[in-house]
Chains A and B, each alone.
Chain A
C-alpha cells in the first residue's frame, strides 16, 4: 500500500467516532477531499455530503460510525458501568482496552476472574451487567472529574500491518472506515465525476443516517460501501464461511435487511469478471447495511451493497487483506462506469 494511503487509513481507523458521535472524522475527511468537490456540507442529521459535478444522480455512501460503548453509571467505587453502542458481544470483552471520550482517557474492561467462575452452575458468558470499566479511580468523586454520564468509549487498538510481508492490515473500526477510505480515493480520482458521496452517521444504531439522507437527496442509484464478516476460519465449512479474504469485494443478492435487483447484480458480476477484478458473493444472509435505507429513498432509487471481507468486525481488532482493498477500489471504479452507462440507457 502507498504510504499516503496507509497513513490515511491509519488515521481513519484510530479516530474516535462511535455511533452517534461521529464529529471527530469531519476534519480528517474534509482535509482529504475538499480540493476535489463542488459542494461539501453536513446535513441536519450529521451526515457529511460531498458532491462532484452538477446535479449528480449516483450516490456512494459509507458510514463513519463504529461500534462502541456508552458510560451509563459512575459507581461508588470509581468503576464505570457501560452498555453497547451498536452490537458488541459482551462474552469476550473482559480485559479489552478502551479509550473514553474524544480526550481518549484510557480504561480496561474488568470482570470476575476465571478462577471464580460459577462452576456449579455451568458456564455463563458475561453480560454487560457483569462488566465494568476501570479507569484507575477509587471513588465516584474522583471518577466524575474525568468522565461524565453518557460519555462514549471505543476500543483502544493500534492500526498497523499484521504480517511482515504487509499483506494484511489490522485495526479497529475497519467497519466502516475502509468504506470511508475508498470514497476518499474515489473523490480524488479525476475520472470519477457527477457523483454524490455521503459519509453517513448512526449506521450501527439502525441505518439511521442513511434513512434521513434517503428522505432528502435525489438519486437513481445508491451504493452502500461497507465491510462484512469473513468467516473463513479453520473448522468452519460450507456456507458458514460466508465469504473469504483474498477473493475480492463481496456483492450480495440479499441480506438481513434488503433484497437487491437480481438482474443488476448478475450484470455487475459479469462486468467485473470480464475485467478480471476479483469479486465474490456471500453465503449467509445476516445483518443489514445502509443500502436498506437507500432502497427506501423517496425518489425510489435502486440500491445495492458492496463490502470488504473483514474478519472479526465488531470486535476489538479486525483484519483485512491489502489485495482485497485494491480489488474493492477497482470494483468501485468499474461500478461507477457501469452505473453511468446504465443511467444513459
Chain B
C-alpha cells in the first residue's frame, strides 16, 4: 500500500496534540469555564455534579471550537500582528483546513452534547454564542467597525448566562446582570491593550478605535465605559446575586479601576511612551483581576447562602 498520501516529508513539522489544543484558546476557555461555572452555581437550583461537570465541559469545548474557527478566519491578520504571529496557523504548525474542520466538528459535538446533558435552551444559547463569535464578530464586525470590541464583547459575556440556563432552564435578570458585567468590561480591557500594543492593529488594518478615531479618543472611551461599568458593578451588589461581601469588594475594586481609567485619560502619548505605557499595562493587568474578583465573590456569596450567610 502506498502511504505517501498520509506521511509528512522528512524534516517537515508534524502537528502535535498541543498545537490543536492551542487552537482552542485555552486562556479564553479558562475564563469561559470560570464564568459559566459561577452562573451555574449562583442559580437558585441545585444541579447533579455529573450533569454540572459535563455541561460546563461542553460549554468549554464549544468556546474552544469558536476559538479554532476564529483562528482559521483570522490567520491572515494573526500573521502580521506581533501578539498573535506565533499562533498555530500563522506559525505553520496547523494547516488552516484542519483548524476549520476541528472547529466545526467540536461546535456540533458540544452543542449536541449540551442539549443532552442539560437542556435545549442552553444548547441553543451555546450555538448562538459560537455563531456570534465566529461569524458576527470575527467575519463581520472585527474588520468593518471600530465598535467591533463593543458588540463582539457579547460573545464573551454569554457563558454565565449559559451556566444559569443549564441550572434553571430559563433566563432571569441575575443572569443578564452577569452578562452586562462582562459586556461592559470588555471594551476598556481591550482598548487598554490596543494602546500599548501600539502598531499591531495598524499593521493588520483592523479598525480598532486607536486606528480609526485616534489614541486620545480611545482614552476618553476607556474612562466613559469604566464609569458605566463601575455603576453597574456596584449596583449589582444590591441584587439577589450580590451581598455585603460583594458590595465591599466592588466598591474598593471599582474605585481602583476608575482611578486607573482616569490616569489613562489624563495622559498623552508623549507621557505614555516615556514610561513604556506603564499605566496602561497596569490597568490591563488590573482588568484581569477585576473580572476574576467580581465573579469569584458572586460565587462565594452563592456558596455561603446554604449556611444562612451570603446575599442580603
Report if A and B associate in a common complex.
Answer: no
Name B's A-contacting residues (CB within 8 A): none
